[in-house]
Structure 1
């Protein structure tokens, strides 16, 4: 068994134009002062990282690592959640997702998709320069508008969508392999990879690619009413990243999983700060530890109620308290009688 690393924090929900959230140096100091040991960087935020420079220059990446290290932090992973989303976009979402892209490719789906692919490649190169072995992203979605179909889906529609998704991602997975980095898809509603079965459909089409791995986030499974502990055991060999995020699901006679178009505060399923929701993190940390997960436990803070700075402060202590320092010997070793093969045979009546 191995001890999970942490606590770490995903910076996406905290970066802003006001200090200390407006530069990598100042946000690292803020995170370190809260007790974090690592930071996960969103690559679309130029206040924190220049992705183009990072992809082209190991010296620049060494500087990024140096800034983090000056505050006692590691750079845990890079993220291309927004760019990965744009690798595959159904036309119904063109306008909604255009804001994720650079201004010069907005309104041009083909150019936008090419830009997104280049962004993911750059992040994979930057990860190599930083010495990072795992990368966080979204799969994007072509079939999501048909997840609960009416009228009924025509035969072959979903299969065609997943064939195309695999066609787009296979070259990126090969590129990730060239750079020694795992692509870790966050399994998430709104993505074609939104549960275990859909991930398996994709995995089959990319020929079980060794780099097509998983970012485990139990909050999305609470909202789907999926068994998030069983999931750990099923996909233990594919889970390479861990977002520590809480959630709750409180169905009523008026709404359930779909939420009735309500705001986050008024939904039956909603994200919460760590410890305020229903996720059994004691069992999660135990199962991940038993399964030899040795990556980082990274806070992803999203809550409809609590202030983010309070969530970040509480999250560091919460994660620290749940990390299990693994034992080096069995608890009953004191009673070891020191037997040998002959004694074992005698005990079995085989002498």
Structure 2
């Protein structure tokens, strides 16, 4: 039997939670990965009665829950804060917009989110970390290693107290390795782990789409971080084989603009080799959900989400318990 196939609701937060449940069931999903915005999970309201209500709703539609996701608030824990962040935060975290106050309230929200996960009976929270040094990526004026070291030290200073609380609760934090975060490829993922002293509550949400267009080895990532992959996103991406108007940095163009070098696509319509991913996940013994994060600006999302569910169920398979030629060997 294949792994459970879930749907991440972050791109569907404009829909009420029950409408989301109805659609996910119609599309064929086994469960949901509930985002912490819209009314899907409201952290400030999520006492035990609220969480029980969410679990009862999911049960009514025969949907499972393995994780909740907090990408928006978590981005603000160690980012340089500006007006962009106001657009993704509830007012109780934004407050007066003072950057340090926003970062501290976002950190408090992360701990509360871990508590919500525990009330829901799950042990994984997916999200971002933010980064104090992402803006230094292209090194001009020249960025020193000392400046980068300070950035990783700040990441560790802000996130280690959160991770300590997660460890006490028996909850893990899965960073989606992603441009704009403290870890965005294999090299920086190693550096982030080292910065938090390989904290047992810190690992990764694996999403191959963020590696593909960077030309990072997305199968190698699975093997190198076998014990740190806490959750898996299934998402596809396309990149061009010929020169384009806008390169890897996007040219300040909106997602979906076909002049870009790369765009996210519905599963099976991009360039990610999911066969190799499934085999690598089998090799490391990952038995958790495969969560579809559906992002394709050029396709109807309902048709795409249904198609993606079928794609994942078709591409997934259980590992073998024996070699195919075992029966041919002499006793």
Give TM-score, length-normalised by structure 2: 0.93
Contact 2:76–2:103 (8 Å) recurs in 1: yes
Which residue of 235, 252, 262 corresponds with 1:261? 252
Equivalent position SS for 1:122? helix
Which residue of 48, 58, 68 corresponds with 2:40? 48
CA pair 193-106 structure 1, distance change in 2 beyond 3 A: farther
Which residue of 29, 44, 47 corresponds with 1:36? 29
Equivalent position SS for 1:261? coil
Deviations 1:266-314 (A, max 9, x none): 2111100111100000111111012100111000011121111111110
- For residue 145 of structure 1, what is the aligned residue in structure 2? 135
Which residue of 313, 319, 324 corresponds with 2:317? 324
Contact 1:214–1:238 (8 Å) recurs in 2: yes
Which residue of 90, 113, 116 corresponds with 1:102? 90
Which residue of 13, 24, 34 corresponds with 1:15? 13
- For residue 342 of structure 1, what is the aligned residue in structure 2? none
Contact 2:174–2:231 (8 Å) recurs in 1: yes
Distance, in Å, in 2 between the alignment partners of 1:290 and 1:4 is: 15
Number of residues paired by the alignment? 326
Which residue of 276, 281, 284 corresponds with 2:277? 284
- For residue 223 of structure 2, what is the aligned residue in structure 1? 233
- For residue 77 of structure 1, what is the aligned residue in structure 2? 67
Distance, in Å, in 1 between the alignment partners of 2:213 and 2:145 is: 28
Equivalent position SS for 2:12? coil
Distance, in Å, in 2 between the alignment partners of 1:211 and 1:294 is: 18
- For residue 195 of structure 1, what is the aligned residue in structure 2? 185
Q: CA deviation at 1:329?
A: 4.4
Contact 1:241–1:296 (8 Å) recurs in 2: yes
Unpaired runs of 5+ residues, structure 2, are none
Deviations 1:307-348 (A, max 9, x none): 1111111011011111213344443444454x4xxxxxxxxx
Equivalent position SS for 1:256? coil
Give TM-score, length-normalised by structure 1: 0.88
- For residue 150 of structure 2, what is the aligned residue in structure 1? 160
Deviations 1:55-86 (A, max 9, x none): x32x4322211210111111121011001101
Contact 1:65–1:130 (8 Å) recurs in 2: yes
- For residue 116 of structure 1, what is the aligned residue in structure 2? 106
Deviations 1:171-222 (A, max 9, x none): 0111110111111000111112111211222211211111110000000001
Between 1:3-12 and 1:297-306, the stretch displaced more is: 3-12
Equivalent position SS for 1:5? coil
Between 1:188-197 and 1:177-186, the stretch displaced more is: 188-197
CA pair 32-106 structure 1, distance change in 2 beyond 3 A: farther
Distance, in Å, in 1 between the alignment partners of 2:27 and 2:145 is: 53
Q: CA RMSD in A?
A: 1.7
Distance, in Å, in 2 between the alignment partners of 1:62 and 1:332 is: 50
Contact 2:13–2:35 (8 Å) recurs in 1: no
CA pair 253-335 structure 1, distance change in 2 beyond 3 A: closer
